[in-house]
Amino acid sequence: MRLQMRNWKVTALVPCLDEKDRIGDVLKVLINSANIDDILVVDDGSTDGTSGAVKKFKSVKLLRLEKNIGKGGAIKKGLKQVTSEVTLLIDVDLKGLTNEKIGSMVTPVTNEGYDVCIGVLKRGPNWFQYLRKNVLPLMSGERAIKTKILNKILENSLAQEWGIEFYMNLFIKKKKLKLKKIDLVGVDDIRHFRKKGFKVYFKRLLFFWIINIKLFWLSLVWQEAD
């Protein structure tokens, strides 16, 4: 992607839990990206030596949480250390991430007047990708967003664990924010059940639906308020 003069600085905020064997690959891309000014990793109570793997990268800032508090909580903690105008949220289990893909998420917010840009991993035929982006709940963790907006989102206690993406979607819709969605072609991730096993995966999936049922109810309340 041809680099453009950026109006605002960008911090890559990377929440993680037990990703010692994968986080290095993503950090290497972020460090070498001309689209990123700072990198902050929030280790959400890892027990596998993730923090040690992060410390090998001298230019990467690390916030180590002693206890696991969930993705939303970890992002909220990390955001207190972010001073840039734009925050790029990135998962650490990505394969195929490049500077071009990072730029395609960052540039709409830094240069094109968007409040949020969501990168959606490209899976399946185009009709299925359309459903994933526009009909089904959009749970992608790859998001460039104005930092002041993300701070506002995280004021709500429902923006936690896997619920943060769902609540962010509701907030964007409620506030009529300018949103762009892009396909991250060639980028993939590791399915959660492969990383944690089926038992942990289904426990997290149950929690995910409990949170999102609450958020769905909240969306109905908001519609009635309108």
Please indicate, yes or no, if residue 207 is contained in any of the structural domains.
no
Please indicate, yes or no, if residue 169 is contained in any of the structural domains.
no
Q: How many helices (H) and strands (E) does the chain have?
A: 9, 9
Quote the DSSP letter at residue 179: E
pLDDT at position 105 over 80: yes
Please indicate, yes or no, if residue 140 is contained in any of the structural domains.
yes
Give this prediction's pTM: 0.84
Q: What integer pLDDT is reported at residue 32 of this predicted model?
A: 95
Please indicate, yes or no, if residue 141 is contained in any of the structural domains.
yes
Contact 72, 43 (CB under 8 A): no
pLDDT at position 223 over 70: no
Cβ neighbour number for residue 31 with a 10 Å cutoff: 14
Does residue 167 or residue 160 have the better pLDDT? 167
Q: What integer pLDDT is reported at residue 174 of this predicted model?
A: 87
pLDDT at position 214 over 90: no
Q: What integer pLDDT is reported at residue 194 of this predicted model?
A: 47
pLDDT at position 190 over 90: no
Q: Which of 30-34, 106-110, 119-123, 196-200 has the lowest mean pLDDT?
A: 196-200
Please indicate, yes or no, if residue 165 is contained in any of the structural domains.
no
Query: Average pLDDT over the chain, rounded to whole?
Result: 85
- Domain limits at 181? 10-156+176-190
Does residue 190 or residue 200 have the better pLDDT? 190
Which residues share a beta bridge with 38?
11
Please indicate, yes or no, if residue 149 is contained in any of the structural domains.
yes
Quick one: average pLDDT of 46-71?
94
Axis-axis angle for helices 198-225, 163-174 (nearest 10): 20
Please indicate, yes or no, if residue 181 is contained in any of the structural domains.
yes
CATH code for position 182: 3.90.550.10
Domains in the chain: how many in total? 1
Q: What integer pLDDT is reported at residue 143 of this predicted model?
A: 97
pLDDT tens, position by position, 163-173 = 688 889 889 98
Distance CA 94, CA 187 (A): 7
Please indicate, yes or no, if residue 184 is contained in any of the structural domains.
yes
pLDDT classification of 6: cutoffs 50, 70, 90: low
